[in-house]
Amino acid sequence: MPGKLVLLGQYPPTVVLDPRQSLLEALLALDQRGVRHAVVVDDEGRLQGILSIRRILSFIHRRAVSGNVYQGLQETTVADVMWRNPPRVVVGEFGIDDVVYILSKLNVGAITVVDKDERVLGIISEKHITGIMALVDIHVAVHEVMTKPARSLREGAKLRDAIELMAVHRYRHIPIVDDHDRVVALLTARDVLDYIALENTLSKLKEGLDSEVLDTVVTQVATGAPATIDPEADVGRALRLMRKRGISGLPVVGREKILEGIITERDIVVKMPKLVGTEIFYDYARSRLYVARVIS
């Protein structure tokens, strides 16, 4: 009887790109499928790189300086922007503890799963790891792993300001605050990508109206009322709230909704092993926590 694979992650990856595709095609693919990372492969399916939303926004930030963002997206290929030689694990040879170690050590958001010939089989992101952790209380308070102070923008800030913060500081979440530092919105890299991918926005960029697009007020781009978390709350509760709201970061607020910090999936994956190790969730449903473990 053939073995059955028990997998953590997405198999095959949701978005797979050819390195020769345009950055515009990649942007639209990531927007349509609602993921943060695309795997880039050659004609034989071998790993060539990873393209993330952050890399696309960094390109837009650089291109905004020279002008004609739309032309740049059309003329630039995925190969020009992707992360070459990203981390990967070989199917059947690595456990979840190895994956967590790599993600936390390298401070990256995703790792590819390949066979021994480098053909891509799947992708594991920090979202898959934190999805497991959300099943239980972690007994670690949010304030122990949050980033503080959180870099924020005022309500009247422009989209270009947000893209610059995301590009330069590698942020994916920017709390939007009023004049009293009360959180009024949360702008995510996903929000920005979705806005740029709108037909109306692309039409403006195609006409060379870059300034009109980049001068959009950030509160017009951020979606939905912001979910927030108390600094004393359990990390597991924060993760469950993230999953419920479909986001990967939460502003941390104290009294009167004043911003104190931000907690993200990246914070948890990078900082938790340093605090308590992976055992806190590794023993939970052990059989589910192996990457491509073969059972008869």
Lowest mean pLDDT among 64-68, 172-176, 270-274: 270-274
Edge-to-edge, what's the strand order for the sheet holding 16-17?
16-17, 37-41, 47-52, 83-84
The reported pLDDT for the residue numbered 103 is 87
| pLDDT above 70: residue 84 | yes
Work out the pLDDT band at 279, boundaries 50, 70, 90: low
pLDDT tens digits for range 94-138: 777 788 888 888 889 999 999 999 999 999 999 988 887 777 777
| pLDDT above 60: residue 295 | no
In whole numbers, what is the pLDDT of the chain averaged over residues? 88
188: part of which helix (H) or strand (E)?
strand 183-188
- Comparison of pLDDT for 213 and 133, the residue scoring more: 213
Work out the pLDDT band at 284, boundaries 50, 70, 90: very low
List the structure tokens of 248.
Answer: 């990967």
One fold for both 4-135+276-295 and 142-265?
A: yes
* CA atoms within 13 Å, Cβ hemisphere of 29: 20
Determine the average pLDDT of the residues in 157-171. 95
| pLDDT above 80: residue 151 | yes
Q: How far is CA 160 from the centre of its chain?
A: 20
In the chain, % of residues over pLDDT 90: 71
Q: How far is CA 64 from the centre of its chain?
A: 22
| pLDDT above 60: residue 2 | no
Helix 265-276, helix 96-106: angle, nearest 10 = 110
62: part of which helix (H) or strand (E)?
helix 53-66
Correct CATH for 4-135+276-295 of 3.40.930.10, 3.10.580.10, 1.20.1630.10, 3.40.50.1100: 3.10.580.10
The reported pLDDT for the residue numbered 178 is 94
The reported pLDDT for the residue numbered 98 is 80
Correct CATH for 142-265 of 3.40.640.10, 3.10.580.10, 3.40.190.10, 3.40.50.1100: 3.10.580.10
Determine the average pLDDT of the residues in 260-271. 93
The domain spans of the chain are 4-135+276-295, 142-265
| pLDDT above 70: residue 7 | no
| pLDDT above 80: residue 243 | yes
Helix 126-133, helix 96-106: angle, nearest 10 = 120
Determine the average pLDDT of the residues in 259-265. 96
Residue type, 296: S
Are 210 and 188 in contact, with CB atoms under 8 Å apart? no
Determine the average pLDDT of the residues in 142-160. 95
CB atoms within 10 A of CB 4: 10
Determine the average pLDDT of the residues in 134-154. 89
pLDDT tens digits for range 23-64: 999 999 999 999 999 999 999 999 999 999 999 999 999 999
What phi and psi, each to the nearest 5 degrees, are found at residue 204? -65, -45
